[in-house]
Amino acid sequence: MLAPAGLAYGLVMTGRNALYDLGILKPWRAPLPVVSVGNITTGGTGKTPLVDWIVKFYQEHGRRAAIVSRGYGRRTKGARLVSDGSRILLGSRDAGDEVAMLAARNPSTIVVVAEHRREGVELLMREFAGRMPDVIVLDDAFQHRAIARDLDIVVINAQEPFGGGRVLPAGRLREPLRGLARAGIFILNKVTDKRRAAGIVKELKPLGKPVVRSRIRSGGLVEIGQHREIVDGGRVRALAFAGIGSPQGFLQSLAEADVDVVASRFFRDHQPFTPDAARAIIADSQRLGLVPVTTEKDWFRIRDEQVLAAMFEKAGCRYLAIEPEIGEGKSVLEQMLIDLA
């Protein structure tokens, strides 16, 4: 039943891309180098940790990156300053959970949210004319072609690379697969099966673009009350809960972190937690003698709600820290980033 809607959406995206490809629509060029990090499928590619990795990579090499994101799920509108590089000005409700997490992880980085990324870049240029960054990282912008970019990084989930081959709403593709030709480099993320990864790389080979392989490395569990990682805490029996696009990836990361998931409660990606949902999660964990465990992104959504944060802290909730581990092709990605800034 969704196939006709998917066909219509695909035609719209194809027509829009054609207007840019033919030069009828012209992207605006920012006065700074621009790196776009995006994907061709909805949710679950591990894009946000890679944005975090890129910002930190530039910092380690003496470059200053600024992040401009749409801020999905935020309650504000327009271009808003999330962090000025010294103070975090907006929380997850006003900036979006992923953006709030990026700002907290990179306290010296300027972070802006804007539905229209150009307005976000222009706000950055006005507010920081005297201390402009060296490069702008556009978060989740592969389909946002209104801004020209110097490097288009496309993140592909090795567990479900091409969204079933159908565009929204029939499948998970944001646009037809032919759009992958615009990419400058692919990051094949969440690689766990080398043979399957090799098959995906073979499918991408005709596009003639480098393919970097990456996986999500599990860190430790962090106590939300103490804000510290638990070291040598023994095997944890957990109730896993989250509102994310790819719960299977979270479960796999928990297993790698030696967490025994006995029960789980999953919600739609970015779905706000209600007090009733929190009470149900906590009641189930207590009844079963389990520790409630969530993702870092979900914790950033919870912590701005004082009532929810207090409830989960009292219940001994923890979140799982993760980071990308860049493997084969890392030097190619690093050189492409350095060449820009």
Is the domain of 28 the same as that of 84?
yes
pLDDT digits (tens, 9 = 90+) for 75-111: 999 999 999 999 999 999 999 999 999 999 999 999 9
Is the domain of 117 the same as that of 235?
no
* Closest by CA position to 17, among listed 146, 209, 208, 153: 146
Is the domain of 178 the same as that of 82?
yes
Give the least confident one: 182-191, 198-207, 247-256.
Answer: 247-256
* Closest by CA position to 30, among listed 185, 150, 110: 150
Domains identified in the chain, total number: 2
Adjacent-strand bridge partners of 2: none
pLDDT interval class at 1 (50, 70, 90): low
pLDDT digits (tens, 9 = 90+) for 261-280: 999 999 988 788 899 999 99
The CATH number that applies at residue 258 is 3.40.50
The CATH number that applies at residue 110 is 3.40.50.300
How many C-beta neighbours within 10 Å does residue 1 have? 6
Is the domain of 133 the same as that of 34?
yes
Tokens of 158: 């090795």
CA distance 299 to 281: 14
Q: Give start and end residues of each alpha helix (H) in the chain.
A: 3-21, 47-60, 92-95, 97-105, 117-127, 194-204, 247-256, 275-288, 296-303, 306-314, 330-340
Is the domain of 263 the same as that of 225?
yes
Is the domain of 127 the same as that of 231?
no
| pTM score, whole prediction | 0.91
Cβ within 8 Å of residue 295, ≥6 positions away: 242, 244, 250, 319, 320, 322
Q: In the prediction, which pLDDT does 226 show?
A: 63
Is the domain of 299 the same as that of 314?
yes
Q: In the prediction, which pLDDT does 44 show?
A: 77
Domain around 105: 3-215+325-340
